[in-house]
Amino acid sequence: MILRTGLVPALFGLTLAGSLPAGPAVAERAPTPGASGMGDPYFPQDGNGGIDVLHHDVRDGYRDSFLADWNTDPRAA
């Protein structure tokens, strides 16, 4: 029984230690104004490094009359 009670905390400790990160993440350079990208590690050339946006206001609209001209056919092809 002593082996079992000591084994559970030891396994818990090893599991916890194995899930911790090995070291600090690699720091990317901060994008500069006019940079060709925003510094994304997966898509480094996407975006604009010279724009600092604090608020996005996107408006989208459509015309009902345009959508009313479309017909849908519920039958399978």
pLDDT (tens digit per residue) in 22-77: 666 666 666 666 667 766 778 777 777 666 677 778 888 776 665 555 666 666 65
If you write DSSP's letter for every residue of 5-71 in order, what string do you get? HHHHHHHHHHHHHHHS-SSPPPPPPPP-TT-SS---SSSTTSS-TT---S---------HHHHHT--
For the segment 8-17, the average pLDDT, to the nearest whole number, is 78
pLDDT (tens digit per residue) in 14-25: 787 777 766 666
pTM beyond 0.75: the answer is no
